[in-house]
Chain A
Amino acid sequence: MTVTKTETLPVRSGDDVVRVRQRVRALAVEIGLGLVDQTKIITAASELARNTLDYGGGGDVCMEIVQAAMRKGLRLTFEDHGPGIADIEQAMTDHYTSGGGLGLGLGGAKRLSNEFHIESTPGSGTRVTIARWK
């Protein structure tokens, strides 16, 4: 698998979340994702960007266009240096929230993506990676 394009954006304010959505849309169009798949990856990105902001205290997103064999994909990595998640299994459960949200962010983002990976260390931060393939 090769990375053909990389961009990084900050996620430190509500306006940044809007910007992330716009860039994800542009990249999804660039790799030729259909309308429903575009909508899914933008929505997943929006959920994760908001998590980064609200629970991680802000961070960055790395957006990559990846190529594997004949397929192109969009891979997004959200990283923060916030408090981390002690119990990932619990955090993944629908409707569980440690804040004031609906508790759909992580589970929802996973369902909307082809690939989902989360690693978190309490006290040092969280990294969530998703990918959607054409």
Chain B
Amino acid sequence: MDRIPILKLGGALIVTIQVDMHDRLALALEEDLTAMIARTSARGVLIEISALEIVDSFIGRMLVSIAAVSRVLDAETVVAGMRPAVAITLVELGLELTGIKTALNVERGMALIQARLSEEDDGHESDRDRHEN
């Protein structure tokens, strides 16, 4: 079965969705990401979707669900690179990406995650293991 690769960069996990999502792929991604967050103690998940020609309620639900599970595991989800036509359509569809931060592109998305990482490092420097970055 196909799987979407997940990259680790510092304290963040990066996923770029390049294919037309179908059910099994979406479920596999959710499982893989969850396992990977637990294994790597990642604090941020960046999902890059600039290749997606549409986001329907099925993919929207997948993103919201990934963000919810990630949050429980103390990682923040940022969706980056949504096409303008997709954004317009999402609003009209009535889909709210609850609990998801969005960024215009990967660079800004990583900046959001890095900001969270360094904020926490500052706050917990004395009592947290600094094994990341």
A residues engaging B (CB < 8 A)?
A: 14-15, 17-18, 21-22, 25, 35-36, 38-40, 42-43, 46-47, 50, 94, 101-102, 104-105, 107-108, 111-112
Q: Is the CB of B57 within 8 A of A102?
A: yes
Interface residues on B, range: 20 to 34
B residues engaging A (CB < 8 A)?
A: 20, 22-24, 53-58, 60-61, 83, 85-86, 88-89, 92-95
Considering the complex, give the chain B residue whose CB is closest to the CB of A101: B57
Residues of chain B within 8 A of A102, CB atoms compared: 57, 60-61, 95
Q: Could you pull out 30 A-B pairs where Cβ atoms are within 8 angstroms?
A: A18-B22, A22-B20, A25-B53, A36-B85, A36-B88, A38-B85, A39-B53, A39-B89, A40-B88, A40-B92, A43-B55, A43-B56, A43-B93, A46-B56, A46-B58, A47-B93, A50-B57, A50-B58, A101-B57, A101-B58, A104-B57, A104-B93, A104-B94, A104-B95, A108-B92, A108-B93, A111-B92, A111-B94, A112-B89, A112-B92
